[in-house]
Each structure stands twice: as C-alpha cells, then as structure tokens.
Chains A and B, each alone.
Chain A
C-alpha cells in the first residue's frame, strides 16, 4: 500500500517537474520576443492601474468640479477635464477596472461554453456533432457586432448585458477549435485505455479530452481579447454598454464627441487608452501564437 503511494507521489513529482521545466522553457522563449514583452508590459500597466486606481488617481473620478470644466491638459489635470470638470486621467484609471471586468466576464463565459460544446460534439460525433456544429455555423455566419447590438437592445443597456451580448457572439470560434482538437484525440490510445478501464463518456470528455483542447483555446483567448475590448468600447460608444457616470472608456468617448472640435482631449484620451490596451493584447496574442501554434512551430 505504502509502496503504491510512494510511486504515485514520485510520478506526481516528476510530472510537476516536467511541467515546471516546460513552463520555464516557454517563459524564456517568450522573453526573447520583444513585441510580446511590450504587450505583457502594457497588460501589466493595465492590471496595476485597475488594482491601484484609488492610490494612483489624482482626483475623485466621479466628483464634478464645474469651475474647471473642460480645461485642457495641465499640471493639475494631466489629461484635462471633461464636461463636468472631472479629471480624465483618474477616470481612465478607474475605467481600467471596467475594461478588465468586461473582458474577464466574456472570456470566463465564452471560452468554457465553446470548450464544452466543441469537446462534446467532437467526442461524440454523429448527430450530436452535426446539430451542435450547425448551431455554431449559424452564430459564425451572423455579423457579430449587429447581433450584440440587437441583443443589448432587447436586454437593455448595462455593463453586464453588454458582456453577455459579446459572449453570445464570441463562443463559436472556441467550439470550432475544441472540436478540431477533440476529433484528433478521441480515438487515440490513451482515450481508448480510459474507455477500456470503464471510464464514463462524461469522464472522458471532461478529464481527458478537454485538457488537450486547452492550449489552443488559450492562445485564441489572448488573440480575442483585443477584439472584445474594441467591441465593448463600441457598445459603450453607441450608448449600450456601461451607463454614466461610470468611467467606461467607450462611453467617455461618446460624451467627448460633442466637444471634439474645441476640447479634443475629452474624446481623444480615453480612445488612446483603448488603443494602447488593445495593441498590448494584440502583441501578446501574436507572440503567444508564434510560440504555441503547432503549425507555425513546425514551419519554423
């Protein structure tokens, strides 16, 4: 009994060591990719400003100060003030939280949904596969932004509803990916071994097939984040995302729109924030794909 436990502990330790070395190898290769590191740095700044917003902010993001309304960037207000005299720099810092919230919500819902649907469809095959993939195709064929718009229009505006709407349009690519991976492994020896040992289909899908789909889903996730940020900002800009006085970047651009010709900073600054963050996610995603994509790796 003890012997068995010992060997188990030993294999576990070996497994952990192998994983660790795999990870450090990956980290080292990633560090050799300057663009990817820039992306990572931008993401770090975003995270830091979201976490430490109260410490970093120079002003209260919600407190109107009508005396200083629409004042240009200055030493006092680094990025100027908006139509209620609120400090734009502080609002952008707090807006980072909303951006992360939306991205987090969308990724945390759409990736698992897509993963489960794809893995189940790919593993079971037959009519389950056919039905699931038809549904996926329909969602893929419909223009995303419009679908999200219509969905928010029906649900009512709001940050959670916007995230829900984006989720609704974001899961199909994950399902496609997971299905493709599941098709590759579903008849492999180790899966058949589990099947022979009496593992249920449920167990096979969740414990043995899904983990194999994870890496491509994760790469796709990083690549998608920039798109999610842009869509969320677009919804906010149209007025269907976060509602005032929340400092959501897209909504900030939408209010700044009225002043674009005379007080350009009101709309320009939050737009720059969106641009830089989505650039960061794009750089990060490209680097991840270059490193992890098996097709590219083979060619290199």
Chain B
C-alpha cells in the first residue's frame, strides 16, 4: 500500500492530497458516466435532441454541432471541459442554460432536504440511543418496528396517503406546491429559501403558509432518514455500550445519563457523522420522488419533468449536480471524521 507510505512522509498534507485525488477521480468517473449515458447509450443521440420529425438539414447541423463526427475521447474532453466552465448545455424545454435552471431550483430542494435531515437526526439519534439502551425491551422493539416500516414503505405512496389524510380529510396542512398562489412573490428572494426569506422580511403570514406547505414533505423525508439514522445509531451504541470503558465509568459511580450520553454517545457520534452526511445525500436523491408527489419546485421535480420532455441535457445536468454534491458531502464527512477521531492521525488506512 503506497498510500500508507505517502501518509507517513507527508502527514496531513499527504492525506488531504490523497483525499482530493480520490474525489477528483470519482468526479471524473461521474462525468464519464453521464457522458456515456448521454452520448453512447441512446441509439441515436441526435434524434434524442431534435426529435423524430426533424428534417435532414437540421439533423446534419445538430450532428456536427454535437461534435459527433469526432472521436469519442475528443467528445468526452469537450464535454468535460464545458462542465468545468459551468456550461451544462441548454435545456430544450425552457431554452435557458441548464445551470441557471438548476441554480433556480436548487434552494427549494436544499430547504426541503435540510429540514428533513434535521427532523431525522433530532429524532433518529435519540431513538437509536434509546433502542440500544433498552436493548430487546419494548422501546427497542417499537423503534425497530418504526424503522423497518420506514425501510419498506414506498415514499411517494406515503406522500400521496399523507396528502389524502392530512390535507384532504383533516385539513391540517396545505396541499402540493411551495406556497399558496395568493402569497406568491411577496417576499424578495435573498437566500432562496422561502422560510428564511419570509422570516428575514418579517412576513409572518407568508412564513406560516410556507411552513404549512413544507411540513408534510419534510416530515416524509425526515421519516425516511430517521429509519436509517436510528438503525445505525442503535448498532453503534450497542457496540459502544458493551465496551469496558462504559463499565468502568459506571463502576466509578457515573450516573446512567453520564455513562450513556457523555461516554458512549461521544464515541458513537464520530461514525455517525458519516451516517448523517450519507443520509443527507440520500435525501437530495429521495427528493426526486417526494418533489414529484408534492409538486415541489425543486431539482427533483425539474429532473422528473425534464425526463418526460426528453430533455436529456437537463436530466444529465441535474444528475451531475446532485452527484457532485453527493461526492463532496462524502469528502466533507471524511474530513470531519478525521478531525473528530483522535486515532485517525495514527491509524489511517
């Protein structure tokens, strides 16, 4: 393993370099993958752009424009170069650059996923700790059961059922969309998040309305991540609670709260960083289905509706963006992990 040697010699810088290299390779892989999907997989990439009814002239022009006469590796380089410069191509539907479309839709997705992650973490971690503490007693069974259902339920279907029950029958929440038409355009977009923007401008009514719209989809995403987070927390805490240092703490007279929350949880918390980062990425992805159900003006909805209009540039652009965020999240969690874990300085890889 040369990586070990490099680490020894260069220490921290070496580790950061290796990490950056890994991330770089993965990003190139992602771009190569989307390139293959866009250019190689379709029987005829030109047809997927111009449609079946285009005239021969248009066809030839697009064929040359797309550089399909050049060798594949040149096409790939051109594609990657464009991506690096932020050129994701033009959406055939909106006729605007895909990147500006994406940046318009991204805040709504981020808002939804962040709220979902907050809910999932704030409930999931304590639930996992409780399940591990009362291992094989009723709290453990209840929490595991709730988690198991979260793993098994189709999230888009749960969204529909949620809309039926809480919007149509009980009228507790607002329906699909980010905000009622009546409140649209009142707040100036500053951060892009409607909740924060309306708070900043002191528009309480708008805030309330936006909140009643986001509660259900965010709760769904929260449940989705809760299932994963509570399960991982439980198994990590089970592992920690059986260690001798916890026994030692108890023997020395530490309260149960201290032994569990301060000793065991602190050690379990380090790998939890990775778990939470991963589920954040999972939420960005899971939002494709949830956003479709709730007509949420986010990236997932954008990608799904582009799929139907055969807008391959938009689809691939969205995939690259979410994929890149996913990979960067992984990297950040890696770095945080190393900063938190005192052992990683000595025993890395």
Q: Enumerate chain A interface residues (CB-CB to B < 8 A).
A: 134-135, 137-139, 141-147, 149-151, 153-155, 226, 230, 233-234, 237-240, 250, 253, 256-257, 260-261, 264, 267-268, 271, 274-275, 278-279, 281-283, 286
Contacts and interface: CB of A to CB of B under 8 A. Distances in A.
Interface string B24-66: 0110011011100110011000001000000000000000000
A230 B285 CA distance: 14
Given A141-B330, A146-B303, A238-B289, A282 B152 contact: yes
Chain B interface size band reads: 35 or more
B326 A234 contact: no
A138 B26 contact: yes
B151 A226 contact: yes
Contacts, number: 149
Contacts of B303: 146, 149
Contact of A149 (B151, B160, B319, B326): B319
Interface in B2-43: 22, 25-26, 29-30, 32-34, 37-38, 41-42
Contacts of B339: none
A239 B307 CA distance: 9
B152 A142 contact: no
A141 B30 contact: yes
B33 A153 contact: no
Interface of B: 22, 25-26, 29-30, 32-34, 37-38, 41-42, 48, 148-149, 151-158, 160-161, 163-164, 168, 281-282, 284-286, 288-289, 292-293, 303-304, 307-308, 310, 312, 315-316, 318-319, 322-323, 326-327, 330
B30 A282 contact: no
Contacts of B327: 141-142
B154 A267 contact: no
A238 B41 contact: no
Given A146-B288, A239-B308, A253 B156 contact: yes
A282 B144 CA distance: 12
Contact of B152 (A135, A137, A279): A279
Given A143-B284, A146-B285, A278 B307 contact: no
A153 B307 contact: yes
23 contacts: A137-B22, A138-B26, A141-B323, A142-B319, A144-B285, A145-B285, A147-B323, A149-B319, A155-B41, A226-B151, A230-B154, A233-B157, A234-B289, A237-B156, A239-B307, A250-B154, A253-B156, A256-B160, A261-B163, A267-B160, A271-B158, A275-B157, A278-B154
A238 B289 CA distance: 8
